[in-house]
């Protein structure tokens, strides 16, 4: 038998007054959850953290900037005593008891009339765990259950009907852990998954056996599934009553032809939604330790497709204008044309000594970074046998990340950055 047996109950606090006494870090953790439940939150405290002040400024919380008074609990449904003064928390408890208001005590759970469980949510399911005043154990159990729900190893489908349509899911840069929670959930709910070569391949192994997998891998300079055929596949499967996930690497709308698929679905009358992914030109350099901006070094970054070389009649890029920029240039799909691009940037005025970082197979087991300059990029790519996929970062941010190779830039030491 537990020392303090509880009767679990889900409180519906929407539109109801809830009082939090105290404006410190405990209150800061509790208040957002109360707001999410729709409660009318009143904070009573002489001081509050900047985060709580921000909620007050946005109109989400009412702040009574003073000490606690028993009348604060009049017409209150629920309260939390979260000060660092046991005497104040005890006053709150007594006032709550007198008014039949359930009260949580941050300092002494044994004197509280309610406990806050460790909670998590997934797909309409709320998981709440109480383990007899062991909050860390409660949190661990909560995390394990929610993670299993998200991964589909613990089923919570309830036989629900999946609405036919298309979901465009950006899978991120390649590492399975870097897909969004929403993207992972959409995959697990799919009837059909239409996947690219650069989509996180390990996640496909988690699909149930009854999910149809359509491989539309686009291999560089090899066989390819034309975009029109991809559009036809996703539309036809959706019109047949299937829930279709179009799964690709990075983000659908950053050189991913995602909006072409949106247009195709809309023209066919197929419902379509978008779940963005971590875009590779930002996330891959970040994982490799290269920032695309840095205070005092780069005030802008520009993402460019390098699938066409400078001077190509179909190119839409003004390379001369890019050469005059002082910030960071991030090149995608540019390995083959990188020598011509580097030459064009130098001819346009960019210093041939400009640092370059080439991140190959970013976030994947074979990830490596090749360091170079605009003037030596062609030779270094050949010497290092760089193959796609790779993200090429041009600019002084590469020197910030690798001072051992390029030396320290003025004003970029650790002490200069806030």
* Catalytic residue list: 196, 218
List, in order, residues 6 or more apart from 418 with CB less than 8 Å away.
Answer: 295
Q: Six-digit token pair at 296? A: 């005092």
**Cβ neighbourhood burial of 156 (10 Å; 0-12, 13-18, 19+):** middle
Please check whether residue 409 is in contact with residue 396, taking contact to mean a CB–CB distance below 8 angstroms.
Answer: yes
Q: Buried b / exposed e across 222-244, counting CB within 10 Å, b at 16+?
A: eeeeeeeebbebbbebbeeebbb
Query: What is the rounded CA–CA span in Å between residue 202 and residue 342?
Result: 35
**Cβ neighbourhood burial of 414 (10 Å; 0-12, 13-18, 19+):** exposed
* Strand-pair partners of 40: 17
In the sheet with 243-248, reading across from the earlier edge strand, the strands are 212-215, 192-195, 243-248, 165-170, 272-275
Q: Six-digit token pair at 256? A: 């991913």
Query: What is the rounded CA–CA span in Å between residue 12 and residue 20?
Result: 17
* Strand-pair partners of 247: 169, 195
Pick from 386, 368, 390: nearest CA to 378: 386
Q: Are strands 328-332 and 390-394 parallel, antiparallel or unpaired?
A: antiparallel
Query: What is the rounded CA–CA span in Å between residue 7 and residue 163?
Result: 37
Q: Are strands 301-305 and 390-394 parallel, antiparallel or unpaired?
A: unpaired
Please check whether residue 374 is in contact with residue 348, taking contact to mean a CB–CB distance below 8 angstroms.
Answer: no
Pick from 43, 73, 74: nearest CA to 56: 43
Q: Are strands 368-373 and 328-332 parallel, antiparallel or unpaired?
A: unpaired
3-state helix, strand and coil shares in percent for the chain, rounded to the nearest 5:
35, 20, 45
The length of the chain is 418
């Amino acid at each position: 038998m537990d020392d303090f047996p509880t009767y679990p109950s889900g409180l519906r606090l929407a539109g109801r007054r809830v009082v939090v006494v105290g404006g410190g870090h405990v209150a800061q953790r509790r208040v957002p959850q109360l707001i999410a439940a729709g409660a009318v939150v009143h904070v009573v405290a002489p001081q509050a953290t900047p985060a709580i002040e921000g909620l007050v400024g946005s109109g989400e919380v009412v702040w009574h900037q003073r000490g606690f008074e028993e009348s604060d609990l009049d017409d209150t449904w629920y309260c939390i005593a979260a000060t660092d003064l046991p005497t104040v928390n005890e006053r709150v408890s007594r006032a709550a008891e007198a008014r039949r208001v359930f009260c949580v005590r941050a300092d002494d759970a044994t004197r509280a009339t309610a406990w806050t469980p460790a909670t998590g949510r997934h797909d309409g399911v709320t998981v709440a765990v109480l383990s007899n005043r062991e909050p860390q154990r409660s949190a661990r159990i909560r995390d394990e259950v929610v993670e299993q729900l998200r991964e589909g190893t613990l089923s919570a489908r309830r036989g629900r009907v999946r609405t036919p349509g298309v979901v465009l899911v950006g899978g991120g840069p390649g590492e399975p852990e870097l897909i969004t929670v929403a993207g992972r959930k959409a995959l697990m709910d799919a009837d059909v998954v239409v996947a690219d070569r650069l989509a996180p391949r390990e996640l496909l192994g988690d699909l149930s056996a009854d999910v149809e997998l359509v491989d539309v891998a686009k291999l560089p300079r090899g066989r390819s599934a034309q975009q029109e055929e991809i559009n036809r596949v996703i539309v036809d499967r959706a019109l047949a009553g299937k829930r279709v996930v179009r799964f690709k690497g990075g983000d659908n709308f950053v050189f991913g032809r995602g909006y072409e698929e949106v247009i195709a679905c809309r023209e066919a009358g197929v419902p379509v939604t978008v779940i963005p992914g971590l875009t590779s030109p930002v996330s891959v350099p970040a994982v490799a330790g290269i920032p695309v901006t840095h205070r005092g070094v780069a005030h802008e970054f520009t993402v460019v497709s390098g699938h066409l070389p400078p001077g190509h009649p179909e190119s839409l890029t003004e390379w001369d204008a890019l050469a005059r920029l002082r910030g960071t240039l991030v090149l995608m799909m540019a390995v083959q044309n990188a020598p011509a691009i580097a030459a064009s940037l130098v001819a346009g005025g960019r210093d041939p000594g400009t640092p370059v970082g080439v991140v190959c197979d970013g976030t994947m087991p074979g990830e490596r970074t090749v360091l170079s300059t605009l003037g030596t990029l062609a030779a270094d790519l050949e010497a290092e046998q760089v193959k796609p996929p790779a993200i090429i970062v041009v600019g002084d941010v590469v020197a910030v990340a690798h001072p051992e190779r390029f030396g320290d830039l003025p004003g970029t030491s650790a002490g200069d950055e806030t």
